[in-house]
């Protein structure tokens, strides 16, 4: 019986990127790493065992931890809540080459991929995903279940509310002390967008400068 069992939930694209980082963090004789995936056809991915959630629950270990490597915030929250109510603890997976400067507070279950930088005086909620080459600059406040695709540039004095998704290569302009740029709850910032002013909750913005997406019905 392994002392510690760590499951990376989701054996798709992002999960396969997170697994080697987790291996570097957790690898020891006393710790086994597996994928958890609800697709029963997956047995092994990149040489790592894939367990269904029920098999993960049955597997004997002194301590079980999970990191949910699924970008969609709603799915991630639902899976985490199920796992935690079953007594599984959160695991953060943070690449050893991350740069984290002064006074950074970050909640549980974060995934900080390689080449992520968090500078100084930053507060981040739970289950933050920062994909490769993203940064968060000084005095930002980031909520729960926020997701950064690769190479997001979040400049200083920005507030990002819960469940927001920031697409690949998006740039968020620096706000002012006491007057931050605010990305509202559940908003989506499109790939490559340049955000120069507040984004309304639940909205989708695209382009440079970023503007709300108008859908033709």
The answer to whether the Cα torsion of 52, 58, 61, 63 is positive or negative is positive
**147-150, long-range: CB < 8 A, 24+ apart:** 147/71, 147/73, 149/71, 149/191, 150/113
Whether residue 15 contacts residue 31, with contact meaning beta carbons closer than 8 Å, is answered with no
Residue of minimal CB distance from ligand UDP? 12
Catalytic residue among 56, 138, 146, 180: 138
The CA dihedral of 69, 65, 83, 186, to the nearest 10 degrees, is -40
Q: Which is nearer to ligand UDP, 76 or 138 (CB)?
A: 76
Nearest approach in angstroms of CB 17 to ligand UDP is 8
Q: Which is nearer to ligand UDP, 52 or 108 (CB)?
A: 52
Q: Is 59 considered catalytic here?
A: no
Q: Which is nearer to ligand UDP, 51 or 195 (CB)?
A: 51
CA distance 64 to 51: 13
Nearest approach in angstroms of CB 193 to ligand UDP is 20
Nearest approach in angstroms of CB 91 to ligand UDP is 16
Kindly list the residues in this chain that would bind ligand UDP in the complex (CB under 6 A). 10-15, 37-39, 70-71, 75, 79
Catalytic residue positions, numbered: 138
């Amino acid at each position: 019986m392994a002392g510690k069992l760590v499951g990376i939930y989701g054996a798709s694209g992002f999960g396969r990127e997170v697994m080697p980082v987790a291996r570097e963090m957790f690898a020891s004789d006393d710790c086994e790493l597996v994928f958890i995936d609800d697709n029963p056809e997956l047995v092994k991915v990149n040489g790592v065992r894939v367990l269904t959630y029920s098999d993960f629950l049955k597997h004997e270990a002194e301590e079980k931890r999970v990191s949910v490597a699924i970008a969609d915030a709603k799915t991630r929250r639902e899976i985490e809540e199920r796992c935690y109510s079953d007594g599984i603890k959160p695991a953060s997976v943070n690449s050893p080459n991350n740069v984290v400067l002064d006074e950074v507070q970050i909640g549980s279950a974060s995934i900080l991929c390689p080449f992520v930088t968090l500078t100084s005086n930053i507060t981040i909620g739970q289950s933050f995903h920062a994909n490769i080459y993203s940064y968060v600059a000084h005095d930002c406040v980031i909520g729960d279940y926020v997701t950064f695709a690769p190479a997001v540039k979040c400049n200083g004095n920005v507030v990002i509310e819960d469940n927001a998704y920031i697409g690949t290569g998006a740039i968020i302009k620096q706000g002012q002390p006491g007057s931050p740029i605010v990305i509202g709850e559940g908003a989506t910032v499109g790939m490559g967008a340049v955000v120069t002013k507040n984004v309304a909750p639940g909205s989708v913005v695209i382009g440079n400068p970023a503007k709300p997406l108008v859908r033709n019905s």
